[in-house]
Structure 1
Amino acid sequence: MIRLTGLAMVLCLPAWLLASGTAKQSSGKRAGTESASDAAVAEGNAKGPDRSGPARIAVISITGGIFLGTEEYVEEALKRAEKEGFDALVIEIDTPGGALDQTQQIVKAMLSAGLPVITFDTPKGAQAASAGTFIVMAGHVAAMAPGTRIGAAHPVSISFMPGMPGGDEKDEKKKEQQKQQEQIMQEKITNDTVSFIRSIASERGRNADWAEKAVRESVSVTAEEALKLGVVDVIADDLQHLLDKIDGRKVELSSTRTVQLHTRDAEVVRWEKSLKQRLLGALASPNLLMLLFLIGLGGLAMEFYHPGLIVPGAVGGLCLLLALISMQILPVSIGGLLLVLAGLGLLVAEGFVTSYGLLAIGGSVLLLLGGIMLVDPSSQPHYLDPSFTVDWSVLVPTVVVLAALVVTIGYKVIKTQRSRITTGREGMIGQKGKARSRVTADGGTVFVRGEYWKASSDEPIEEGSKVEVVGVDGLELKVKRVD
């Protein structure tokens, strides 16, 4: 089952990535409107390039965690939009957060963009949590769909492997010193994050006090509350509604340049991620990491114990390689990783040690604990929603299936070991047949298991009588008569 699941996943992942990779382009209503750059209100006589026809709006989407590849996607979109003369770039956001480095690069590119950047927390029910808060607030125009939420940007460091109680006085002092150092480091990180988000809010003229609360107190608000607090500028049902509502709004790109948006009836062009960016995005999934890691180790173990199968080893090696790449993207906990390895080891040992299910139970418990701790959403330097972990709907069925598979294999092994031997010398003992000639101590012929055998008996056995094998001496059977 592990082999087939891994093979299906490996074969389907590239197909899914390629299928979703085709660039999509959708056009809105076209009318005789001026482009945003043509209608620019320039301070210091700065104007954009002249171009007739409807305005053109580029749209990209950030969904899932903000990790390696996301910043490249946004930066390339900004450069391309400016180079090709687009009037604005819309960034649709639905994210639980992500890595600090990638978030800072994205915000830096947005703040220095040469065209209006519109951030939109969408669709309904989406979130711009943690790192997503920074990106939404960095837009020239920030918008949210009804039913969305924003905030909870506090970087918290949680230790899943607390120290053991007890120990001498020196150990207690070391623990106290370590705790103080962690608190100091946490305070530094928090203060730096506060200054970061306040600078973004001040640059875009948004509520810097609320932005600080989002970091220090992890406050989170709905779209309606965010609009009242001055966190965002617009609430819109969808992209077309947003473009209609912000039409005519003036956006300050720099101290010497302000443009007026003409987004109504604009031509909308969507840009998707490249194959590399989509692959990295797909691997930035705790659920996929857990599955790839287990399938990879399972496939290699199967190839190790049954050399020459090739497919399990190849699939296992590929899955393990992808899992290692995923570990470089996600904030993986070393403690959780060790627990997963220990749990898998106990499950494998169940197939070779007669523990009557104890090893399987222990391995299952360790796998569950390891899966819970495998991805640490509060690990620095990351700003992630606490829910960004291995989902229970994936973790529990995976552990149950693995445990059931191991127990079944173990049961078959024990049953085989305890079954009666049917081959070789031992396999002949107890077999029954017929005497084809008179059998005495000097010899005779019997028919057993479809073959004729030389045989001898301590008592005479007449031809046609039923016999049972009681011993084997080379190629001669020792038999006795049975009724």
Structure 2
Amino acid sequence: MRKICKCWLVGMMLLLFLMTGLSFPQSEEQVIFWVPVKDVPDLGMVDWGLASFVKRALREAEDAGAQAVILEIDTSGGWVDAMLFIKDAIISSSCPTVAFINHRAWSAGAFIALACETIVFAPDATMGAAEPRSGTPEEIDKPDPKTVSAIRAQIEALAEARGRDPLVFASMVDRNVEIDGLVKKGELLTLRASQALEYGAGDLIAANREELLSKLGLEGTVRELSPSWSENLARLVTNPVVVPILLTLALVGILMEILTPGFGVPGIVGLVSFSLFFGGRYLAGLAGWEPLIFFLAGATLLIVELFLPGFGIAGISGMGALALSIYLVLRETSILFWQEAVYQLFFYVALMGGVFLVLLAFLPQSPVWQRLGLKKEITGKVYQIEEKSSEPSVVGKAGIAKSMLRPVGIVEIEGKRWDAITEGEFISPGTKVRVEGVRGNTIVVKSEEGG
């Protein structure tokens, strides 16, 4: 019996060995990765979501031992910092890289194409116009010479590394470069396909994918990649148009929540907007822990402020922590232009101050504001003044603030609770107040303490 078991075990091991050995001669499938680097409607141009996608595609190509990675480029440009991130990822890739310029590789697109080992043009494709522009006020009409110098040095070094003429690519960035018969001083160079081949800025012209693969001698399965949902979300929420909207909604929502008791719709809108602002960058792997730590600290301090009388240290510290977290995120996604992050931060601080004044001046009278603000449950009956009866006997009477008035809240007069509003003054619970007048169905009160 033991001999039979031993023979059975030996036989099974031999069978497994033979089965494993049979698979050794099988050749690995040749794979060509096709990566679109394109402007997407509503999602933006070259941005951090695209940068995350390209880096992932290059990593997957390396893991798969790809025969080549072909980047199909069709873009008008985008963020400088995202462009440099993509350029570095391409340069450091161990896979052969090919840029197929299908229509245009302008601005950041020219950098990305130059980073590839081989550049192929579609017959109608163009490449160039890579002068850097920042979002700072001074550079809207005229670029900063220091920025131009830095980007020119980058593109010249990249051209040298790829064995191409640095002067040709420098003329795409710097208007002061002149090349006889190609570009005049004061102009930026943009090359057509035939010009690119003539001046060594391109290698081949191919009308479509099949012709490109044939001319490059590539045979194998083409695996076309596409951005994941998280990368598309990152592209959307890091879009230069979407970012101000998210931050505006976040700041307005937080301010409205501070000015009203309890927690309601404005607070939810603010937190969701902040979450999208930070979350998109984390999904793309673009933000460190520091902004998140300051954001959570700021949000915690603001929540504490909601339950403490007055707008004091907790509220101010919370707003400061939120501002710092916003700056750190803007700074991390603007590695070249730190001034741009400062300008954007100042803009949002000014916007926040303006919104704060508007809310204090106009929204307290709005019925919608009062419905949003008075969501906090208060025991006991709350009296309201009927619009048709002004209740003149209430005017001039003294009472006690039963909730925080920011500037809407609840006061108690002669044992009855009333909806109340101040003229922008914050009043803590327990403060003595006096009725100054009637506004619609709400009484207007003023603190009797502190003068």
- TM-score scaled to structure 2, two decimals? 0.51
Question: Which of 329, 333, 336 is 2:333 aligned to?
Answer: 329
| The structure with more radius of gyration | 1
Matched letter for residue 130 of structure 1: S
Question: Which of 98, 101, 105 is 1:128 aligned to?
Answer: 105
Q: Give CA deviations for 1:17-46 in whole Å, capped at 9, x if unaligned.
A: xxxxxxxxxxxxxxxxxxxxxxxxxxxxxx
Matched letter for residue 338 of structure 1: F
2:67 equivalent in structure 1 = 87
Q: Quick check: 1:199 aligned with 2:165?
A: no
2 CA distance for matches of 1:75 and 1:209?
29
Question: Which of 192, 202, 218 is 1:262 aligned to?
Answer: 218
1:119 equivalent in structure 2 = 99
Matched letter for residue 209 of structure 2: L
Distance 1:134 1:335, change over 3 A: closer
| SS of residue paired to 2:65 | coil
1:154 equivalent in structure 2 = 131
Q: Quick check: 1:142 aligned with 2:150?
A: no
2:204 equivalent in structure 1 = 234
Counterpart contact for 1:148–1:222, Cα < 8 Å: yes
- Residue 199 of structure 1 deviates from its aligned partner by 1.6
Distance 1:309 1:222, change over 3 A: farther
Q: Quick check: 1:56 aligned with 2:31?
A: yes
- Residue 96 of structure 1 deviates from its aligned partner by 4.2
Distance 1:409 1:210, change over 3 A: farther
2 CA distance for matches of 1:284 and 1:245?
33
| SS of residue paired to 2:227 | coil
- Residue 319 of structure 1 deviates from its aligned partner by 0.8
Distance 1:420 1:82, change over 3 A: closer
- Residue 214 of structure 1 deviates from its aligned partner by 1.3
1 CA distance for matches of 2:67 and 2:358?
63
Question: Which of 289, 299, 308 is 2:243 aligned to?
Answer: 289
Q: Quick check: 1:304 aligned with 2:258?
A: yes
Q: Quick check: 1:214 aligned with 2:167?
A: no
- TM-score scaled to structure 1, two decimals? 0.48
Counterpart contact for 1:194–1:216, Cα < 8 Å: no
Counterpart contact for 1:193–1:215, Cα < 8 Å: no
| SS of residue paired to 1:426 | coil
Counterpart contact for 1:151–1:219, Cα < 8 Å: yes
- Residue 246 of structure 1 deviates from its aligned partner by 4.0
Moved more, 272-281 or 79-88: 272-281
Question: Which of 360, 367, 388 is 1:422 aligned to?
Answer: 388
Structure 1 runs not aligned, ≥5 long: 1-48, 163-181, 250-260, 355-405, 414-418, 430-483
Structure 2 runs not aligned, ≥5 long: 1-23, 39-43, 176-187, 282-328, 371-384, 396-451
- Residue 305 of structure 1 deviates from its aligned partner by 2.8
Distance 1:75 1:346, change over 3 A: closer
| SS of residue paired to 2:391 | helix
Counterpart contact for 2:106–2:129, Cα < 8 Å: yes
Q: Give CA deviations for 1:70-110 in whole Å, capped at 9, x if unaligned.
A: 55543442342233233221112234445556544543443
1:445 equivalent in structure 2 = none
| SS of residue paired to 1:247 | helix
Matched letter for residue 234 of structure 1: L
- Residue 215 of structure 1 deviates from its aligned partner by 2.3
Distance 1:349 1:307, change over 3 A: same
1:18 equivalent in structure 2 = none
- Residue 286 of structure 1 deviates from its aligned partner by 0.7
Q: Give CA deviations for 1:148-188 in whole Å, capped at 9, x if unaligned.
A: 432122345685269xxxxxxxxxxxxxxxxxxx85x4575
Distance 1:53 1:299, change over 3 A: same
- Residue 133 of structure 1 deviates from its aligned partner by 1.1
Distance 1:407 1:141, change over 3 A: farther
Distance 1:408 1:96, change over 3 A: farther
Determine what percentage of the aligned residue pairs are the same residue: 23
Counterpart contact for 1:150–1:220, Cα < 8 Å: yes
2:268 equivalent in structure 1 = 314
1 CA distance for matches of 2:369 and 2:91?
64
Distance 1:132 1:51, change over 3 A: farther
- Residue 274 of structure 1 deviates from its aligned partner by 4.3
